Structure 1
Amino acid sequence: MIKIKNLSELQNLKVDNYFFEVLEDVIKISNKKEKFEINLKYNKDNLISTLETIKKLTEIKILLEDFSEREILSFIESKGYNKLLWNPIGKAMHQFNMIEEGDRVAIGISGGKDSIVLFNALVRIKKIANINFEIIPIHIHMKEDTSDISELVNYIKKFGYELQVIETKLGNLVSGETKEKNPCFLCGRIRRGILYTTMKEQNINKLALGHHKDDIVETFLLNIIYQGNRNIMRPAYFSEEHQVTVIRPMAFVEEKNIISYSKKLSLPILEEKCPYEMSSDSKRLKIKNIIKSISEETPDVRSNIINSIKDLF
């Protein structure tokens, strides 16, 4: 993968057997080994499309580090994701009236694929919808975590936003001497508490979380099997305790489509270092594997379960 700030940086670039020349309105791509040449016309106002075409022709992934205002939407929407991402997100946003005029919406940016795709989705909504609202991205960072978040910070900045980074010693609380039986639940609860406190301090009225259809289905089955109740992750609800509205715009989006989109755009996903996430003791992982197995015979199993619990939303 190659990162450039502008198209002029392709001039005289040599990658594998490809050689690039940038002319006034044409990019000349030659391959001396295979003895062919491509003359690719480009539009300075839509470089994202040009870079996608280069990838199709050469399999060379080139990312633009600085976006113009016009290029932001083109980059976010990409191609082929209307049915997989934007339509189900739009359906959830409309059905549960998730965003209203004047809202200040915090996004919990963990650095995983889900939260970054959620950020992209809300930036897209802000650009295409006739609604005036604010987006405030917030990252809770464990001091024990040595991950480099600079790429994540720069990614958010490319769209004109500043990522608020709040440091905490969350690792000690979750994996200390108490040896919490359900560290994932406790970790999520502590992170959420920090977000609620920050929101209150900054007068933020809504919290957007990156949970998707698979999360909702898995949580429902976990609660039935292990807790004996029908509690669910609702797509939207008002927290009386914290006086904020929680929204999950990707409630109808399947995880596999989020993975596909994040790979295509080469999103700056932080490396997962949590020892519990993929542990063989993880009940969620067991449920995920069961659903995956059933989906081989019944591809619509996730949608079927969602449809069966709509009355709980």
Structure 2
Amino acid sequence: MIRINNIFELHNLKVDNYLFEVMEDSLKIINRKEKFEINLTYNKENVISTLETIKKLTEIKIVLDNFKDREILSYIESKGFNKLLWNPIGKAMHRFNMIEAGDRVAVGISGGKDSIVLFNALVRIKKIANLDFEIIPIHIHMKEDLSDLSELTAYIKKFGYDLKVIETNLGNLVKEKNPCFLCGRLRRGILYTFMKENGINKLALGHHKDDIIETFLLNIIYQGNRNIMKPAYFSEEHQVTVIRPLAFVEEKNIISYSKKLSLPILETKCPYETSVDSKRLRIKNIIKDISLETPDVRSTILNSINDLF
């Protein structure tokens, strides 16, 4: 993957068998081995579509490190995701009235695919909706985790936002029988405290359709209750509203979008996410197996708990 600040940085660039020549409003891509040329025109104010065309024709992935304002929406929306991503997000946002004018929305950025797609979705909504609300991206970072946050921070920055990083010794606290539940609870506790101190009234989390139905089945099978992850609810304890804009989006579509945009996903250091002893992973695999003969099983399960929302 090649990173550029503007299209003129491609001039005289040599990649594999290709040589780039950039003119004022056009560019030439010369294949020196097979002796052919590709000629493209471009708009300096919006080169996203040109970069996508280059990838299709040459398989060379080029991304902009700095966006002009008008390029942001073009980049986020990409192509082919209206039905899979933007429509279900819009449906959830509208049904549960997730964001209103004047809201200050904290976005939990774990660095995983779900939270980055959530961030993109909220930036998109702010661009296209007639709503004045604030987006505050926040990352809870364990001091024991040596992951490099520079790429994630730079990604958030090119949309015009600063990633707030809150360091914690959470890793030393999570030594319980059910570490995933406790870890999530402690992370949200840190977020709630920060929100209260900074007058932030809503918290956006990246849980998607698969998370909701997996949690429901986990509670049914292992806890004997019908508790669910609600797409939106008001926490009386913390006096904040929690929203999940990806509630109607299937994980496979988030994965497709993440791969197409080459999102800067942090490599997870958590051993519980892929552990063979993970009950959630077991449920996930069961649903995956059933979906082979019943492709709409996720929607069927979600519809069956619609009354609990």
Task: State the partner residue of 2:281.
Answer: 285
SS of corresponding position for 1:97: coil
User: Is the partner of 2:27 in helix, strand or coil?
Assistant: strand
Aligned residue in 2 for 1:186: 182
> Which runs of structure 2 are paired with 1:1-313 in the superposition (5 Å)?
1-175=1-175, 180-313=176-309
Deviations 1:244-286 (A, max 9, x none): 0000000000000000101111111000110111101100000
CA RMSD of aligned residues (A): 0.5
Runs (5+) with no aligned partner, structure 1: none
Matched residue of 1:166: which SS? strand
Deviations 1:19-49 (A, max 9, x none): 1000121110011211110111111111011
User: SS at the partner of 1:294?
Assistant: helix
Deviation at 1:64, TM superposition (A): 0.5
Distance (Å, rounded) in 1 between the aligned partners of 2:181 and 2:276: 17
Q: CA deviation at 1:88?
A: 0.2
Q: Counterpart of 1:135 in structure 2: which amino acid?
A: I
TM normalised by structure 2 equals 0.99
Per-residue deviation, residues 63-101 of structure 1 (Å, max 9, x unmatched): 100000010011000000000100000000000000001
> Which deviations, in whole Å up to 9, do the C-alpha atoms of 1:205-238 show, x marking residues without a partner?
0000000000001000000000000000000000
Residues of 2 paired with 1:142 and 1:32: CA distance?
A: 49
Task: Name the amino acid aligned to 1:109.
Answer: I
- d(CA) in 1 for partners of 2:135 and 2:4? 27
Structure 1 counterpart of 2:134, which letter?
Answer: E
For residue 181 of structure 1, report the CA deviation from its aligned partner.
Answer: 1.1
Q: Which amino acid aligns with 1:214?
A: D
Structure 1 position 204, deviation (Å):
0.4
1:94-137 Cα deviation digits (max 9, x unpaired) = 00000001000000000000000000000000010001100000
Deviation of the 1:287 alpha carbon: 0.2
* SS in structure 1 at match of 2:107: strand
**CA–CA separation in structure 1 for the residues paired with 2:25 and 2:158:** 25
Deviations 1:176-219 (A, max 9, x none): xxxx1110000000000000000000010000000000000100
Q: Deviation string for 1:153-181 (max 9, x for gaps)?
A: 11111011111100000101003xxxx11
- Tell me, in whole angstroms, the C-alpha distance in 1 between the residues paired with 2:30 and 2:78: 26
- Whichever residue aligns with residue 49 of structure 1, its letter is S
| Distance in 1 of aligned mates of 2:33 and 2:107 | 48
